[in-house]
Structure 1
Amino acid sequence: MSDSRYSYDENAEAWPYFAMTLLSLVLVPTTYKAVSKLSRSSDKGPPELESQYKPPNYEIIKRFRKKSRKSSLFTTTNVLLLAGWIIFFGVAFFVYTQEAPDDVQRFDPYEILGVTYTASEKEIKSKYRKLSLKFHPDKIGNNLGNSTREELESQFVEMTKAYKSLTDEVTRKNYLDYGHPDGPQPMKHGIALPKWLVDEKGTPMVILAYACLVGIALPFVVWQWWSGTKKYTKNGLHTVTAANIFEKFAKTDFENITNDVLLDLLSDAEEFKILYPGITNEEVHAHLNTYLSREKEQDAADEIKKLGIVSRSMTILEGMLDIASSFKNVDLIRTILLLTQSFAQALPPNSHELLQIPFLDEKKLACLKVKTIKELVAMGDDEQRKVLGIESAEDLKALKSFESQIPSVEILKAFFKVPGESTVTPGSLAHLVIKFRVAFPGTKLSPPELKDLEEEDSPETLKKPLSTNNKAPALNPVYAPFLPIYLQPKWNVLLINPRENKIVEPPTSITHVYTNGDISTFKVQLSAPLPDQLGKFRLLIELRSNCFIGVDALSSVYLEISPPQTTEEEIDDDISDPDEDSIAGAMAVMRGGKTKRRADEDEDEDNEDENESSSDEEDSDTDINTDTEDEGDS
């Protein structure tokens, strides 16, 4: 009967593995979540091309950006994760350097005797005889060397067991069945804890630790996770803020939702009450107005608070756009997108696009003859110096650096397409294809080739039509001088039904484009099948930037729904040749067509009787098809 007594992990044989298992169960998913959060962060560090223009509060903005990047990395969770991984690898190193105890060594008779696994029985006996002459208790005498008599006698017993495991039938069967010549070994039910933790003195400590872990720590972690998932939407918007925005949009006429209304909704966001306890809506509103006026707060602490409110406002505006999309009103969506551009450039809503240029204010704007950024950029350096009042070469360099990151977008062609089809038919699932190009100042654009404006099907696009959306390189973060974060640029795509003044699909984002003038392709998958109504319908496409004012693009696109086309070739392929002994076959012979013989004729029976019976059956079976063909011909 096997020994089933419990043993404690006095030699640290099991608890390291137990500890590594528990640590990995916590560290792996938490690390994955933390890495995903960092990779999704919009503040990815300075852009490659940072303007040399520095606003009056540049040093404070610089410190805020540096602190934001540092705080996003050195959070409490990340510090605990780092400590957890240090402990994990420390335990792993301990396991790696720990030698296995003697009582768990595997019994290998070949290794004990020092013979190969292919040794014959004669070789095994010869080897054992030699070892017996050396290690037999009667032969040892006083030649103990560095070992004791007990050690040598024990070694000889192991040799004898090994020899019998390979030569004695009963002993060999025990070795093959149980891995040991003595048969089944005692089973140890080990506890992965040292004995002092479980004895009378350590029991209260273990119970207390278990109670803290299961009764306090685990429920707290689960509650934190649950409340966190329920407190914020997938876009990072607080649920209270989202509810207030939705209620305002639902109860207010869209034409009455102005920039002031949106700023009031921003000021009332729950995020600011959590970020700055005790702050009022009026204080938040005042900070937002100060920022949009490009003014600096008198107190440094208030300036830091203003920057924190502005950086969080960009996330809230994204969530606000998502909520507005469910109402499908174009004017509401445009108002939010224009306000987002104003926040990016720190300008009051509906400001002139030229005001985002450094060194340019309202007074200088009134004296300018140019009305667009494109016209200003096209001016020579000397003329820009004159109209903007730039004196130093450093300021001119800063101006050029800022201008070089302002893109221009041109929609070259837009059309609807059904993958694998040449026409768009009723009830089909189509997608909108937009061919466009983006260029920065100084890029020479040549007329596009017609072949580049077409969209050819390939095995990849047939399987994944939207795979071309990320084919181009991702856009680099832009440098907006007054914005406390580095903004990831994108164009929001609006597909608009002008008759109803509603969007057809929720806004989608273009983040991957060619910036050297090459043609980029972006596709919008329509979420619903096309209507059954035939005809040509005019829609609008808008590409609206989230960073710059005045770089948007607008174009018409026509959705032409045509009836399904069936070619004569397809009809011939679908209808097989009629049997030669049917009425349809006879008519086909008269027209000079082809017929086929019946494959189910029984050659063993009389041909004439079989033809008569089969002809009668075929006539009755093919009458319906014949009538159908006649009706079609008539």
Structure 2
Amino acid sequence: MSDSRYSYDENAEVWPYFAMTLLSLVLLPSTWKATIRAMQPEKDYSPKFENGYKPENYDDVEMFRVKNRKSKIFTKTNALIALGWIILIVVAYFIHIQETPQDLRRFDPYEILGIPYSATDREIKSRYRKLSLKFHPDKIRNLVNTTREVMEAQFVEMTKAYKSLTDEDTRKNYLEYGHPDGPQPMKHGIALPKWLVEEKGSPLVILGYSVLVGVALPFIVWSWWSGTKQYTKNGIHAITAANIFETFAKSNVDNITFDSLIRLLAKSHEYKILFPKNGGDTVYDYLLAYLSREKVDDETKKLALVSRSVTILEGMLDIASAFKNAALLRKIISLTQAFAQALPPESNELLQLPKIDKERVIHSRCTLKSLFSLNTKEQQNVLGINSDDDLKVVRAVAAQIPSIEILDAFFKVPGEACVTPNSIAHLVIKFRLAYTGTTLPPPDPKDLEEVDNDVTIKKPLSTNDIAPQLEPIYAPYLPTYLKPKWTILLVNPRENKTVEPPSTVTRMYTDGSVSTYKIQLSAPMPDQIGQYRFLVEFRSNAYIGADAVRAVVLNIEAAPKVEEIEDDISDPEEDSIAGAMAQLRGGKTKKRTADVPAEYDSDEEEESSSEEEDSDTDINTDTEDEGQT
């Protein structure tokens, strides 16, 4: 029968190492990840205020940002990692001060005898003799029992060490098994004290196991599952996404107004979670107050509601793209711009500038681009500014607002000279970014060319990641940091429908260089030859009046014909098997010139020609000879 008894770690010989190993397996990768995350520079999307300009609600916005700013160091995860390292250090210190049990020590005869590894036999015998006189049981007098047992055990160890270096059989066991007594039995045990398993501590183990398996593990799985299901990939609540989709599906999207979009936004489930006591009408009033730049009694609540608006609008844009209505997508993007600048949708772009007379600007037809074509007095008159210092602030802020110039847009099949029916093509867009008040020189024609090479043919979209990330946006009223991006719409103007899902551009050159962006079209090209017209639209998520639109023509051409080279050798003979098969298929064949194979025909022709030459030579020679005679 097998022995069912277990060896427990009563003297804490094993469990500290076990605990240290488990802690290391968790702490080392977690600490590495936390370090990398902390060392990564945080992208600064904060608005820049030059020349000391600050909006009216600057203090409220800044206080809200500081309160909601997340630290990379002081987090719950880092606190757990720090606690784990403290526990690991305590366990390591406990292992350091603990003496290794005799049965766990490595048997080293040189260490036991206290001699160097280079000791000779004479030195070994001399050292053993001295230790024997000191630790021999017969030499021990007047010692307590515990000390006598220790001394006797040391003497036994010294004897074994001496024999492992001098006795042939004992030394053989030491060299082969690492111990003078031969192979040692392997001990198996539980890295827990006996009282924790079999005595009073047993209920604690059962309770801990029950809590871990029955409560903690299901709670962690449920939290993870509910977290993934409650929010979509765009970061909006599933209830909000369902409400938006249902509204668009049941409504005529062509008739959706900005006001209905704001009311739909106000019904988002995120706001109900944030402020359960406030209904959709209250949230709607707060959102309108923000878009009108009006202060309310609870400014913090207004900023908290607005801080979630941009994320919800981005999710709304993604849902609306399924309906392919270009007008609806433009309205959602315009509403995002309005929230970024705290202005009513489709406001005059000059209202983004500070220190201006709003009433005068509202009725002006001037744009940001045309504003810099005016002289100083005309600019002051348009903006309603009397101070030169205020005009400098306006110019500095306007210089931070970019716009897109679409230089060219065309369809191309990688590696091909033209777009053929049913081919898979890309939309290639050549554009550049220009800041207000700057005049860029004409682009280099070479930058507008699309040259095929091994990289662009294998990975056509690799050029989209070459340019740097966009600069921080100017949005002083927005309580959160908005990442700048541009949305590209490819629209069929006849139906006012998008033919591709919206694409997002977050990288482009800001020094006036030409940027390239490619969109891989999901559907094959039309199967009929002809021209098809589309619109390419660049829409900013942050600035009003910075959008760009350009017409693009898709030319579907016939595939170039490959010239056929006639070759008689390729045609099989009519009386051969290949010829018979070719005739059945309606192919061409050629006739045999002779009944013998061609190779024999050529040989006979060569022989006859050589015979004729020889005969001619003989006749001529004979004639000459006769004449001479």
In the superposition, the TM-score normalised over structure 1's length comes to 0.80
Structure 1 residue 69, shift from structure 2 partner: 0.9
Please give the alpha-carbon distance, in whole angstroms, between the structure 2 residues aligned to 1:161 and 1:385: 106
Secondary structure of the residue aligned to 2:315 is helix
Q: What code does the residue aligned with 2:331 have? A: T
Which position in structure 2 is the counterpart of 1:309? 305
Asked whether the equivalents of residues 469 and 521 of structure 1 are also in contact (C-alpha less than 8 Å), the reply is: yes
Secondary structure of the residue aligned to 2:159 is helix
Secondary structure of the residue aligned to 2:491 is strand
Alignment of 1:323 with 2:280, yes or no, is: no
Which position in structure 2 is the counterpart of 1:228? 227
Q: Structure 1 residues 37, 139: CA separation in 2 closer, same or farther (over 3 Å shift)?
A: closer
Q: What code does the residue aligned with 1:621 have? A: A
Structure 1 residue 363, shift from structure 2 partner: 1.9
Alignment of 1:553 with 2:548, yes or no, is: yes
Which position in structure 2 is the counterpart of 1:596? none
Asked whether the equivalents of residues 377 and 403 of structure 1 are also in contact (C-alpha less than 8 Å), the reply is: no
Alignment of 1:260 with 2:269, yes or no, is: no
Which position in structure 2 is the counterpart of 1:585? 569
Please give the alpha-carbon distance, in whole angstroms, between the structure 2 residues aligned to 1:554 and 1:108: 84
Alignment of 1:621 with 2:578, yes or no, is: yes
Q: Structure 1 residues 169, 58: CA separation in 2 closer, same or farther (over 3 Å shift)?
A: same
Q: Structure 1 residues 414, 367: CA separation in 2 closer, same or farther (over 3 Å shift)?
A: closer
Aligned ranges 1:121-140 → 2 under 5 Å: 125=121, 128-136=124-132
Structure 1 residue 480, shift from structure 2 partner: 1.0
2:523 alignment partner, one of 516, 520, 528? 528
Alignment of 1:8 with 2:9, yes or no, is: yes
Q: Structure 1 residues 519, 334: CA separation in 2 closer, same or farther (over 3 Å shift)?
A: same
Structure 1 residue 21, shift from structure 2 partner: 2.5
Deviations 1:539-597 (A, max 9, x none): 110000000011101011122233333544xx67xx9xx8xxxxx42979xxxxxxxxx
Secondary structure of the residue aligned to 2:468 is coil
Q: Structure 1 residues 155, 325: CA separation in 2 closer, same or farther (over 3 Å shift)?
A: same
Please give the alpha-carbon distance, in whole angstroms, between the structure 2 residues aligned to 1:265 and 1:296: 23
Please give the alpha-carbon distance, in whole angstroms, between the structure 1 residues aligned to 2:30 and 2:256: 43
Structure 1 residue 267, shift from structure 2 partner: 0.9
Q: Structure 2: where are the runs of 5+ without partners?
A: 142-147, 591-629
Asked whether the equivalents of residues 437 and 514 of structure 1 are also in contact (C-alpha less than 8 Å), the reply is: yes
Asked whether the equivalents of residues 3 and 186 of structure 1 are also in contact (C-alpha less than 8 Å), the reply is: no
Which position in structure 2 is the counterpart of 1:56? 56
Which position in structure 2 is the counterpart of 1:482? 477
Deviations 1:283-336 (A, max 9, x none): 000001101111111x2xx21111111110111000000000111111111111
Q: Structure 1 residues 616, 625: CA separation in 2 closer, same or farther (over 3 Å shift)?
A: closer
Structure 1 residue 20, shift from structure 2 partner: 5.6
Please give the alpha-carbon distance, in whole angstroms, between the structure 2 residues aligned to 1:192 and 1:384: 83
Aligned ranges 1:437-448 → 2 under 5 Å: 437-448=432-443
Which position in structure 1 is the counterpart of 2:610? none
Please give the alpha-carbon distance, in whole angstroms, between the structure 2 residues aligned to 1:627 and 1:115: 101
Aligned ranges 1:567-606 → 2 under 5 Å: 567-568=562-563, 584-585=568-569
Asked whether the equivalents of residues 328 and 503 of structure 1 are also in contact (C-alpha less than 8 Å), the reply is: yes
Which position in structure 2 is the counterpart of 1:502? 497
Q: Structure 1 residues 485, 558: CA separation in 2 closer, same or farther (over 3 Å shift)?
A: same
Structure 1 range deviating more: 23-32 or 4-13? 23-32
Q: Structure 1 residues 4, 57: CA separation in 2 closer, same or farther (over 3 Å shift)?
A: same
Please give the alpha-carbon distance, in whole angstroms, between the structure 1 residues aligned to 2:275 and 2:195: 49
Alignment of 1:157 with 2:153, yes or no, is: no
Which position in structure 1 is the counterpart of 2:533? 538
Aligned Cα RMSD in Å? 4.0
Structure 1 range deviating more: 197-206 or 481-490? 197-206
Which position in structure 1 is the counterpart of 2:393? 398
Which position in structure 1 is the counterpart of 2:347? 351
Please give the alpha-carbon distance, in whole angstroms, between the structure 2 residues aligned to 1:80 and 1:19: 22
Please give the alpha-carbon distance, in whole angstroms, between the structure 2 residues aligned to 1:277 and 1:27: 42
Structure 1 range deviating more: 622-631 or 407-416? 622-631
Deviations 1:154-210 (A, max 9, x none): 44234236427xx7468636753x544434434333434445544533333333333
Please give the alpha-carbon distance, in whole angstroms, between the structure 2 residues aligned to 1:468 and 1:11: 61
Structure 1 range deviating more: 246-255 or 92-101? 92-101
Deviations 1:333-379 (A, max 9, x none): 111111111111111122222222222344222675x5211112344
Please give the alpha-carbon distance, in whole angstroms, between the structure 2 residues aligned to 1:349 and 1:246: 22
Which position in structure 2 is the counterpart of 1:68? 68
Q: Structure 1 residues 73, 260: CA separation in 2 closer, same or farther (over 3 Å shift)?
A: farther
Percent of residue pairs identical: 47
Which position in structure 2 is the counterpart of 1:18? 19
Deviations 1:215-274 (A, max 9, x none): 222222221111111111111111111111000100111122111111111111100000
Please give the alpha-carbon distance, in whole angstroms, between the structure 2 residues aligned to 1:17 and 1:521: 57
Asked whether the equivalents of residues 437 and 517 of structure 1 are also in contact (C-alpha less than 8 Å), the reply is: yes
Q: What code does the residue aligned with 2:19 have? A: F
Please give the alpha-carbon distance, in whole angstroms, between the structure 1 residues aligned to 2:354 and 2:153: 89
Structure 1 residue 137, shift from structure 2 partner: 5.2
Please give the alpha-carbon distance, in whole angstroms, between the structure 2 residues aligned to 1:469 and 1:430: 16
Asked whether the equivalents of residues 9 and 15 of structure 1 are also in contact (C-alpha less than 8 Å), the reply is: no
Secondary structure of the residue aligned to 2:516 is strand
Q: Structure 1 residues 534, 3: CA separation in 2 closer, same or farther (over 3 Å shift)?
A: same
Deviations 1:22-70 (A, max 9, x none): 68559967996999899999x8453566574322221111101111214
Q: What code does the residue aligned with 1:11 have? A: A
Which position in structure 2 is the counterpart of 1:274? 273
Secondary structure of the residue aligned to 1:101 is coil
Which position in structure 1 is the counterpart of 2:461? 466
Structure 1 residue 125, shift from structure 2 partner: 4.9
Secondary structure of the residue aligned to 1:522 is strand
Whose Rg is larger?
2
Asked whether the equivalents of residues 503 and 519 of structure 2 are also in contact (C-alpha less than 8 Å), the reply is: yes
Which position in structure 2 is the counterpart of 1:373? 368
Q: Structure 1 residues 195, 143: CA separation in 2 closer, same or farther (over 3 Å shift)?
A: closer
Q: What code does the residue aligned with 1:585 have? A: I
Secondary structure of the residue aligned to 1:538 is strand
Please give the alpha-carbon distance, in whole angstroms, between the structure 2 residues aligned to 1:150 and 1:524: 86
Deviations 1:363-418 (A, max 9, x none): 222675x5211112344455434543445565344323321211021011111222
Q: What code does the residue aligned with 2:221 have? A: V
Which position in structure 1 is the counterpart of 2:236? 237
Asked whether the equivalents of residues 493 and 510 of structure 1 are also in contact (C-alpha less than 8 Å), the reply is: yes
Asked whether the equivalents of residues 175 and 182 of structure 1 are also in contact (C-alpha less than 8 Å), the reply is: no
Q: What code does the residue aligned with 1:93 have? A: I
Asked whether the equivalents of residues 340 and 547 of structure 1 are also in contact (C-alpha less than 8 Å), the reply is: yes
Please give the alpha-carbon distance, in whole angstroms, between the structure 2 residues aligned to 1:563 and 1:242: 45
Structure 1 range deviating more: 217-226 or 95-104? 95-104
Structure 1 residue 476, shift from structure 2 partner: 2.3
Deviations 1:525-547 (A, max 9, x none): 11233332332211110000000
Please give the alpha-carbon distance, in whole angstroms, between the structure 1 residues aligned to 2:431 and 2:22: 53
Asked whether the equivalents of residues 64 and 304 of structure 1 are also in contact (C-alpha less than 8 Å), the reply is: yes
Asked whether the equivalents of residues 409 and 551 of structure 1 are also in contact (C-alpha less than 8 Å), the reply is: yes
Q: What code does the residue aligned with 1:277 have? A: P
Structure 1 residue 93, shift from structure 2 partner: 3.3
Which position in structure 2 is the counterpart of 1:426? 421
Q: Structure 1 residues 33, 243: CA separation in 2 closer, same or farther (over 3 Å shift)?
A: farther
Asked whether the equivalents of residues 113 and 158 of structure 2 are also in contact (C-alpha less than 8 Å), the reply is: no
Please give the alpha-carbon distance, in whole angstroms, between the structure 1 residues aligned to 2:322 and 2:89: 55
